[in-house]
Chains A and B, each alone.
Chain A
């Protein structure tokens, strides 16, 4: 018996793999970090205004709301789901805030309304995906049209512009004045820290990876797969509601086309951040770096008056290249074909 019990000691298994510097440098996060440095260097050379603390902090206003939503979106993509209704959710939440503002509601109520509408939208998506069992891409394309449609029907070609100044102080305000840290940017950094801890340090995070890599085995291992997926949709809705509060406060108005097309920009942040669209791989650090790369590249290019359409084309090329390069490099280095 003891002879058998010791059978295990026959093999010497190291605790962890030695990661070479080569591997570390070719990790996706390192590539993004290099890309970010390149963005700063190139833009700094192109325009003397780029490397200015106030300009840079101003630039964060343009991406912090999207970046906030990109965090829960990254977790959704990680578990093989997606929410394409986030921008429409922002529109619907902003609309609800607008209607309440016209009815005379104060800032705290407006914030609450924005968050609640977001949460309700996310919950609806979550129920359709987990309880009814529909694919999330179909569900959220549907709810995207639905939420946006409601906003358009109610608003027509009108806009709500009567917001209390308190809301503007949230959307345009600074948490710290020197160095200038906008509130929305600070919220993003805080949310990113929470997401990173959850994903990389907790039991929930490990289960997200397990679901993304093999949902069947995860379920067989006792992971509450549907409860977790439902929760992620709800959180994504809630954060979209928060984005609606910040955005509405920042621009001080609600139009039917508010946040139009943001879902794709958000998904772009997630994918460029190295979160596998097939699920199971990705880090919060990668998404944060991708947010900075995209945000500051856009800002720099607009500083030197590159038209918006051209910027979009450039970012599109960047995204496709980012996804293609590792695949092509892997082929060139002659990786053995894997069978699964």
Chain B
């Protein structure tokens, strides 16, 4: 397994963590965690939402300071006080929540904080552009170094974030849910890069809630539960079920196919929805109780079409009918008034109001749907919050806790709950289970199924094939802005869907 390295062997493990603890107010996020990582190896760090994975990453990259415990990197004691210290020690990370500069170019984002300089101390734009282009090329990303970041979609931004991490010549690369925003093709590219990194003798920490990925890339695993280390070992020695049991403390039916429920009348009809560049001639109809899966590669125009439908952008053409009557939706407020809900793809910017509490976030869509001059009742808000937050297994200290203090997956659950609590008639979900752990994902799927049985009509945009296939009554496949295939559940095989998504099988 050991690849040849430039360094003389044998050497100390790449990373040794002993007894690491971190407390946030009343929450013990990490409690005496141990971890050992060797060069040339990929370690999967697993655990439920809120188990402490990202907290560990943030300590290793100097964003948080640990309360107790030691870290050593290649045998040297290490305590990062800033991301710069971490880079210096050879640690780089793709963070779960990306912090990037929307107004700057892709290249500037990639090299922020360590731009190459000319001998006279000015930014060496040529080198920077070329290096960025090369990194993006390795990722097979269709992005130009000079493009302003704000013009990119979520997945493309994520690729830039990955390029940024790789721009440091690091010996330890940490990836906190790097695949959450990506579709199959980009994930393949990412895994190829992980393979390269390993072959170069670098160590990789890989965090994901998707077991197929874990089994594909990892050599070893370490599991956290409620901030404690509950086990580690070689991937070859365990099954998925073992890991799930260890993570959750019980076994879980992961695949949660949608129940067959009577499909009712047509609620939503979309006809010829188009805009100038991103999607064209999108037409479909949606019935009560139906879940319509929308699959496609990143950039296929799925999210863009849904955002136009929800009134966030103006389509150039197309008509929308709800219950047979034509409607004009100019803003999300109109869409909400028409009974529509949209769980957006980018939870940090579009979904969560991070400085506000769980209760205030969870009730926001419902409040916005009602009249402005209306008194709020804290008790009623709390009841709603308990009901939906509990149902989606939100882990928090109090219902007033600010969203920015929740783990990524728990933020996502609150954003989903916000829209369910508004009790819509048409629900559009854009990558809803991104970053959610197995148990909670099953809970979300069960809830979707139950709501469909009650007559809710759902559009599910997802890049996760098992989710689309398991949950949808009908699968629509988009490719380059158009719907290229409509497959009823029985015919929606993985091959058929993927072929259509990559533009094959047109004839």
Give the Cβ gap from B74 to chain A, nearest Cβ, in Å. Answer: 26
- Residues 84 to 100 of chain B near chain A (Cβ within 8 Å): 97, 99
Q: Residues of B contacting A338 with CB < 8 Å? A: 404
> Any chain A CB within 8 A of the CB of B440?
yes
* 0/1 interface trace, chain A 32-70, chain B, CB 8 Å (1 if under): 000000000000000000000000000000000000000
> Any chain B CB within 8 A of the CB of A219?
yes
Q: How far, in angstroms, from A304 to B344 measured CA to CA in the complex?
A: 61
Q: Number of B residues whose C-beta is below 8 Å from A?
A: 62
- Of chain B, the residue at the smallest CB distance from A228 is B372
Question: A223 near B368 (CB under 8 angstroms)?
Answer: yes
Question: B312 near A220 (CB under 8 angstroms)?
Answer: yes
Question: A210 near B393 (CB under 8 angstroms)?
Answer: no
Question: B446 near A5 (CB under 8 angstroms)?
Answer: yes
> Any chain B CB within 8 A of the CB of A177?
no
Question: B332 near A221 (CB under 8 angstroms)?
Answer: yes
Q: How far, in angstroms, from A127 to B335 measured CA to CA in the complex?
A: 23
Q: How far, in angstroms, from A203 to B374 measured CA to CA in the complex?
A: 5
- Residues 67 to 88 of chain A near chain B (Cβ within 8 Å): none
Question: B354 near A202 (CB under 8 angstroms)?
Answer: no
Decide: A214 near B331, CB < 8 A? Known: A5-B443, A202-B375. Answer: no
Decide: A213 near B335, CB < 8 A? Known: A8-B391, A221-B418. Answer: no
Question: A206 near B442 (CB under 8 angstroms)?
Answer: no
Give the Cβ gap from A227 to chain B, nearest Cβ, in Å. Answer: 8
Q: Residues of A contacting B355 with CB < 8 Å? A: 213-214, 280-281
Q: Residues of A contacting B404 with CB < 8 Å? A: 338, 340
> Any chain A CB within 8 A of the CB of B473?
no
- Residues 461 to 495 of chain B near chain A (Cβ within 8 Å): none
Q: How far, in angstroms, from A88 to B121 measured CA to CA in the complex?
A: 48
Question: B396 near A7 (CB under 8 angstroms)?
Answer: no
> Any chain B CB within 8 A of the CB of A207?
yes
> Any chain A CB within 8 A of the CB of B116?
no
CB contact between A4 and one of B354, B365, B442 (< 8 Å): that residue: B442
Question: A216 near B253 (CB under 8 angstroms)?
Answer: no
Question: A8 near B390 (CB under 8 angstroms)?
Answer: yes
Q: Residues of B contacting A214 with CB < 8 Å? A: 349, 352-355
* 0/1 interface trace, chain B 396-438, chain A, CB 8 Å (1 if under): 1111110010000000000000100010000000000000000
> Any chain A CB within 8 A of the CB of B122?
no
- Residues 172 to 216 of chain A near chain B (Cβ within 8 Å): 201-204, 206-207, 209-210, 213-214, 216
- Of chain B, the residue at the smallest CB distance from A204 is B372
Give the Cβ gap from B486 to chain A, nearest Cβ, in Å. Answer: 28
Q: Residues of A contacting B372 with CB < 8 Å? A: 202-204, 207, 228
Question: A11 near B396 (CB under 8 angstroms)?
Answer: yes
Q: How far, in angstroms, from A11 to B382 measured CA to CA in the complex?
A: 16
Q: Number of A residues whose C-beta is below 8 Å from B?
A: 43
- Residues 430 to 459 of chain B near chain A (Cβ within 8 Å): 439-440, 442-443, 446
> Any chain A CB within 8 A of the CB of B364?
yes
Q: Residues of A contacting B356 with CB < 8 Å? A: 209-210, 213
> Any chain A CB within 8 A of the CB of B321?
no
> Any chain A CB within 8 A of the CB of B16?
no
Give the Cβ gap from A278 to chain B, nearest Cβ, in Å. Answer: 10
Question: A219 near B332 (CB under 8 angstroms)?
Answer: yes
Q: How far, in angstroms, from A13 to B398 measured CA to CA in the complex?
A: 5
Decide: A224 near B360, CB < 8 A? Known: A17-B400, A203-B372, A213-B354. Answer: no
Interface centre among B349, B364, B382 (most CB of A within 10 A): B364
Decide: A336 near B353, CB < 8 A? Known: A9-B390, A221-B365. Answer: no
- Of chain B, the residue at the smallest CB distance from A281 is B355
Decide: A224 near B370, CB < 8 A? Known: A11-B394, A336-B65. Answer: no
CB contact between B351 and one of A4, A16, A220, A337 (< 8 Å): that residue: A220
CB contact between A339 and one of B63, B256, B365, B386 (< 8 Å): that residue: B63
Decide: A219 near B393, CB < 8 A? Known: A17-B400, A202-B373. Answer: no
**Contacts beyond the supplied A213-B354, A224-B331: 20 A-B pairs with Cβ under 8 Å:** A5-B446, A7-B440, A7-B442, A7-B443, A8-B393, A11-B390, A11-B394, A13-B395, A13-B396, A17-B398, A203-B373, A203-B375, A204-B372, A206-B363, A214-B352, A217-B350, A217-B352, A222-B365, A222-B369, A224-B368
| 5 tightest A-B CB contacts, nearest first | A222-B336, A8-B390, A222-B368, A204-B372, A14-B398
Which residues of B approach A to under 8 Å, CB–CB?
A: 63-65, 97, 99, 252-253, 256, 312, 331-333, 335-337, 342, 344, 349-356, 360, 363-365, 367-376, 382, 386, 389-401, 404, 418, 422, 439-440, 442-443, 446
Can you give 21 contacting A-B residue pairs, CB < 8 Å? A4-B256, A4-B446, A11-B394, A11-B396, A13-B396, A15-B399, A202-B375, A203-B375, A206-B363, A206-B364, A207-B372, A220-B332, A221-B336, A221-B365, A222-B333, A222-B336, A222-B337, A222-B422, A223-B368, A336-B63, A339-B63
